[in-house]
Chain A
């Protein structure tokens, strides 16, 4: 098992290196000049050149990359062109909201997805299966943005159960934090839940129709025990893989959901930074989200190895 962890950690290093190179290079592919974007429409070429020099944008790309990467190794992501503050501080302000809603979304997705998948996978072809599977199609089809607005209208405006502007940091008030996360997590988690439900259903059908299930039945093992102790465990392997993908999807979608629920997350920071060509912030956001995805997939791979010995490196 230690080998698996070491192997995956080692593999994460080149992944991060490649991502950092890509992230840095992307800033050169974006047309336009950050200085021109900052100075506005009536800037003179001289003023643009002056600001580019101030920001170090006139230096050779390799020199800038070496400096950026060196700073990155010390945890320094640079200074925002527009806010004038360290990118790490900006990310520290925004990451909690994004992480909260993504974790909330994945919890909702797992609860809904595994629940619905096990329910339908153990009774394939029945009316209940068709109804719930049809529901997952609906879950996949509903845009998170629209669902968020719908939830807001019903639960905040009509029923008044939760406020629309509901974000509270965990450190300030854990209960208020939880309350504020309910609707965004639901909006975010439904699609992920539908993906996981379909994966789980297929895995459960395969798992419960395998020869060992007949053996267990012949041995007199009750059906509930078969499902809980054997079926779900075997079905979890593909479900885990889809959870990693779902997590990555939810990070992207959270950028949209946070807009509906006025969450101070990475999405709005990314949007303003892209429009303003605030490259250090764009690089920081992409790097952090990529690292998150890598870390989550690392954890999932380790869990995968724990469940399935064949997945461990020999």
Chain B
């Protein structure tokens, strides 16, 4: 059996070669082990732990996510690690996956509307009261901002300010996932005054425990968030959060060892350096989901026959990917246990070359000669899958494209097969994005009657246990029909200085890159 064996690791591409060279060189010179041990010089960075009673005066958390947001405006694409400092949402996802109150205390959802009751004791960092009008301005801003978050809010046909602390979102169609969407990066609450003034893009003004300190910040280098006055919520551990931007992983590891930062995101190629640095610990959590999708499954399409799709899925061996790239983990289905849409009966497609060949033979071996668009960060993965599908006689050619072209075209219908991120948090969103007949990710426009009936029933059920069970059926049908398969999850890797910060936890908000549970963090003693 021939097997493609790429030499690069998790993020293939030219940068990676340079990183690899640099790391190898540093190791060769024996320099990486000679680190400072994290002796804290900054008095503010290492105060005594406060036991969770409130921020320790003078405590500073220095975090590196490798960059800064281009815009802080609601609706602009922004990593959660930035957003969760000054901003809060109306609701949040708890550790158990349940929706929890934040700025909204109660809610009621029907097919036609979502009505939210808001807290009455919250003000934005500029003193503007948080109220129903502010929610309306924020959500309308997201709706009208060109960006990835506008789409899910187009179902809101209008927003009524019922009273100062009650807002009603009128829906053009039943959208059971809307409340979940309100927990995400798509819906931070920013000062309506700053939105209307047009200053919000550069000066974030939210309701969170840390307020942007423009005077203390150096744009592009260090952004400082000090304690918000009269913060309404639970006390946090650090008084101040500083964001720095060290995009290069070796430099970030060195900064961590040098006690210049307390916490950073990192990559697997840094493990040797980090593990050899005293006072540094690390964790990982699943953050990115991706899977191949068969786009050309319409009449006469290469992947029209379910047996062909099942054969391809059975030919793919995701374990090979996981061995080569340790920050990927193999999964059997899109949703995790505890998430809506998870079905314990979904076994997925385990690699079995003989069975794959049998399935392909049973379909009559229709010719599969498919192009697949790849870019620097997923080319290796695609080549592995293409090689594996080639073993049963399917010809899959991986075409490399620069990221802009990849993002524009990989799921446009030009290619019969694609591989990309599926970041939908609910089965409703996942179904509507990729599998319903009118889904943008379903260019062939076909959907089985069974899938449609199951999805319609799940949508009609709204929310609750019955809806959960019905959505599990939907995801089972998607798996059985092999509309997608070979699910893998990319891990986000965090490293921190244990001499300056404790209680580092993965975020409760699932499937977010570059994030930590800021509120749990405490200064180390």
Contact partner of B405 among A32, A39, A143, A158, CB < 8 A? Answer: A32
Please tell me if A85 contacts chain B, counting CB pairs below 8 Å. Answer: yes
Of A114-122, A161-169, A292-300, which binds chain B?
A: A161-169
A97 to B70, CA, bound (A): 17
Contact partner of B70 among A33, A43, A80, A158, CB < 8 A? Answer: A80
Docked-complex contact B440 and A42, CB < 8 angstroms: yes
Please tell me if A31 contacts chain B, counting CB pairs below 8 Å. Answer: yes
Docked-complex contact B404 and A145, CB < 8 angstroms: no
The minimal Cβ–Cβ distance linking A283 to chain B, given in whole angstroms, is 15
Please tell me if B409 contacts chain A, counting CB pairs below 8 Å. Answer: yes
Across the interface, name the chain A residue whose C-beta is closest to B438.
Answer: A44
- 1/0 contact string of B477-515 vs chain A (CB within 8 Å): 000000000000000000000000000000000000000
Please tell me if A154 contacts chain B, counting CB pairs below 8 Å. Answer: yes
- 1/0 contact string of B410-452 vs chain A (CB within 8 Å): 1110000000110110000000011000011100000000000
Docked-complex contact A85 and B201, CB < 8 angstroms: yes
Contact partner of A149 among B22, B70, B150, CB < 8 A? Answer: B22
Across the interface, name the chain A residue whose C-beta is closest to B254.
Answer: A157
- 1/0 contact string of B249-290 vs chain A (CB within 8 Å): 011001101101100000000000000000000000000000
Please tell me if B58 contacts chain A, counting CB pairs below 8 Å. Answer: no
The minimal Cβ–Cβ distance linking B158 to chain A, given in whole angstroms, is 19
Please tell me if A274 contacts chain B, counting CB pairs below 8 Å. Answer: yes
A150 to B30, CA, bound (A): 11
Q: Which residues of A contact B247 (CB under 8 A)?
A: 259, 262, 268
Across the interface, name the chain A residue whose C-beta is closest to B201.
Answer: A84
Docked-complex contact A83 and B25, CB < 8 angstroms: no
Q: Which residues of A contact B412 (CB under 8 A)?
A: 36
Which residue of B35, B251, B421 has the most chain A CB atoms within 10 A of its CB atom?
B251
A30 to B403, CA, bound (A): 11
Of A8-16, A18-26, A47-55, A132-140, which binds chain B?
A: A47-55
Please tell me if B388 contacts chain A, counting CB pairs below 8 Å. Answer: no
Which residue of B35, B260, B423, B441 has the most chain A CB atoms within 10 A of its CB atom?
B260
Q: Which residues of A contact B403 (CB under 8 A)?
A: 275
Docked-complex contact B255 and A164, CB < 8 angstroms: yes
Q: Number of contacting residues on A, CB 8 A?
A: 59
Q: Which residues of B contact A80 (CB under 8 A)?
A: 70
A97 to B150, CA, bound (A): 34
Q: Which residues of A contact B250 (CB under 8 A)?
A: 149, 260
Docked-complex contact A158 and B34, CB < 8 angstroms: yes
Docked-complex contact A145 and B18, CB < 8 angstroms: yes
Across the interface, name the chain A residue whose C-beta is closest to B245.
Answer: A262
Please tell me if B221 contacts chain A, counting CB pairs below 8 Å. Answer: yes
Q: Which residues of A contact B70 (CB under 8 A)?
A: 80, 82-83, 272, 276
Contact partner of A81 among B67, B146, B439, CB < 8 A? Answer: B146
Docked-complex contact A31 and B254, CB < 8 angstroms: no
Given contacts A31-B409, A54-B146, A146-B22, contact A262 B254 (CB under 8 A): no
The minimal Cβ–Cβ distance linking B93 to chain A, given in whole angstroms, is 20
Please tell me if A261 contacts chain B, counting CB pairs below 8 Å. Answer: yes
Please tell me if B148 contacts chain A, counting CB pairs below 8 Å. Answer: yes
The 6 listed contacts between A and B (C-beta, < 8 Å) are A32-B407, A149-B26, A154-B31, A260-B248, A264-B219, A264-B221
Chain B residues at the A interface, C-beta cutoff of 8 Å: 18, 21-22, 25-26, 29, 31-32, 34-36, 67, 70-71, 73, 76-77, 146-148, 150-151, 154, 201-202, 218-222, 244-248, 250-251, 254-255, 257-258, 260-261, 401-412, 420-421, 423-424, 433-434, 439-441
